[in-house]
Amino acid sequence: MTDTIATQSSPAIPQERRIVTAIPGPQSQALHQRRAAVVPVGVSSVLPVYVARAHGAIVVDIDGNQFIDLGAGIGVTTVGHTDDAVVAAASAQLADFTHTLFTVTPYEGYVRVAELLAEHTPGDHAKKTVLVNSGAEAVENAVKIARKYTGRSGVAVLEHAYHGRTNLTMAMNFKAAPYSTGFGPFAGDIYRAPNSYPFHDGLSGADAAARTIAYLEKTVGAADLACLVVEPIQGEGGFQVPAEGYLPALQQWCTDNGIVFVADEIQSGMGRTGAYFASEHFSLVPDLVLSAKGIAGGLPLAGVTGRAEIMDAAQPGGLGGTFGGNPVATAASIAVFGQIESLGLLAEATRIEKTLKTGLTALQVKYPIIGEVRGIGAMVAIELVEPGTLLPNAAAVTSIATFAAQHGVIVLTAGTYGNVLRFLPSLAITDELLHDALSVIDDAFAAL
């Protein structure tokens, strides 16, 4: 079996940046034309180089260019592209069976992922997990379960939040364009409160929490809220780390008022911040924790994990879906958990934070348009401003991302105003590659 896998997999990809054509290259441009005829413009691509292979922190395109991947498919390939253990586990499962439907005839992989999530999410209470296919679907299910459990309908979310692209989650997002423009009518009973954004509001955690709570008490009232959904570190919003004490105060208010506290850890979870879940950095024990992106090494899988008594509120048959907890995805996920342990990836996230923050802070000294360097673990961002102000500088972000791509570095943008560059590489990336990528970012700022 192992031999078969070794001969089937692609030859090793050297972990180095190498640009051999214009970006995008001629083959990518040709494929892009074919795509334009058959794929709608609503599905856009940040960097239209078409991928041939990927391994570790390197993506190879069909023109033979090699990119350092600082995005990991938006924090999905956290253990690295085509991690050997993940590929082996998924390949073996592919040969055994690809689908039966857990709600028809179940299998162990689903149960094992639920056990691993119970073990690694915060808190030692009894926990249960439902597995689904996407982050948005996890958010949808968390809201369903919280409503059933509380008998209430209101859903509270925060400014700058991002929760997905389905009808309910569009209504939960802060940013309308491009996510929801023209796609209404939207789901009702969603209440959006101010968040903690220290770089902009300068508030202490206690003051920011008092503001959030006062807003919700006034505009909806605690008694009508089923849940409060928060990203402990906002993803698309721009990796804001809330002021100290903010999230615990919100959780306490939820507990005191019978509101289900939901941590959307779809981007921040699965080791990304140097803890299994970012909630741990804030001493949170959420009632429900949402996982997706990094959970299965790139295979589609997501989960809602929570207090057993809340999760059991949904009636038999009320949760599930055809592909939810697919056996190949659960096999990959079990391998991801194994790799986080055996490769010591939580410590790697902390190393990456140090390397990125040291490099980016040095750039901030040289380039005053870098307003703030922030984040935890391998979830680091810089916010670009008009020097000396808090005014967003989105144009500079676009120029830098474009320059970086042309020089072999994939870097993602974020932020409500598009003025954040976020770095969320795989935890397998070496310091050598990070330093090389940082030198490209330095050149990009110099070229502005």
Ligand X SMILES: *Cc1c(COP(=O)(O)O)cnc(C)c1O
Residues of this chain that interact with ligand X (CB under 6 A) are: 134-136, 139, 162-164, 231, 235, 264, 266-267, 292-293
Phi, psi torsion values for 158, nearest 5 degrees: -115, 155
Residue 232 beta carbon to ligand X: minimum distance, rounded to whole angstroms: 10
Q: Please name the residues in contact with 120: beta carbons below 8 A apart, sequence gap of 6 or more.
A: 276, 277, 337
- Peptide bond before residue 368 is cis, with ω within 30 degrees of 0: no
- Residue (24 or 122) nearer to ligand X, CB: 122
Residue 255 beta carbon to ligand X: minimum distance, rounded to whole angstroms: 22
Residue 165 beta carbon to ligand X: minimum distance, rounded to whole angstroms: 6
- Residue (296 or 444) nearer to ligand X, CB: 296
Residue 169 beta carbon to ligand X: minimum distance, rounded to whole angstroms: 7
Which sign, positive or negative, has the C-alpha torsion 357, 240, 73, 440?
negative
Task: Give the residue ranges of DSSP H helices in 12-107.
Answer: 26-38, 72-75, 84-96
DSSP state of 223: G
- Residue (232 or 392) nearer to ligand X, CB: 232
Burial 272-292 (b: 16+ CB within 10 A, else e): bbbbbbbbbbbebbbbbbbbb
Q: Which two tokens stand for residue 84?
A: 């050997």
Task: Give the residue ranges of DSSP H helices in 299-430.
Answer: 308-311, 327-342, 345-366, 394-406
- Residue (135 or 274) nearer to ligand X, CB: 135
Residue 162 beta carbon to ligand X: minimum distance, rounded to whole angstroms: 5
Residue 354 beta carbon to ligand X: minimum distance, rounded to whole angstroms: 24
- Residue (58 or 328) nearer to ligand X, CB: 328
Q: Which of 171, 8, 82, 103 is nearest to 321 (CA)?
A: 103
Residue 170 beta carbon to ligand X: minimum distance, rounded to whole angstroms: 11
CB 383 within 8 A of CB 238: yes
- Residue (169 or 339) nearer to ligand X, CB: 169
- Residue (266 or 345) nearer to ligand X, CB: 266
Q: Which two tokens stand for residue 92?
A: 């073996």
- Residue (288 or 440) nearer to ligand X, CB: 288
Residue nearest to ligand X (CB): 135
Q: Please name the residues in contact with 36: beta carbons below 8 A apart, sequence gap of 6 or more.
A: none
Residue 66 beta carbon to ligand X: minimum distance, rounded to whole angstroms: 26
Residue 8 beta carbon to ligand X: minimum distance, rounded to whole angstroms: 28
Count Cα atoms within 13 angstroms, Cβ side, for 173.
24
Q: Which two tokens stand for residue 175?
A: 């940013």
Give the integer Cα–Cα distance in Å for 269 and 278: 6
3-state secondary structure (DSSP) of residue 115: helix
- Residue (266 or 434) nearer to ligand X, CB: 266
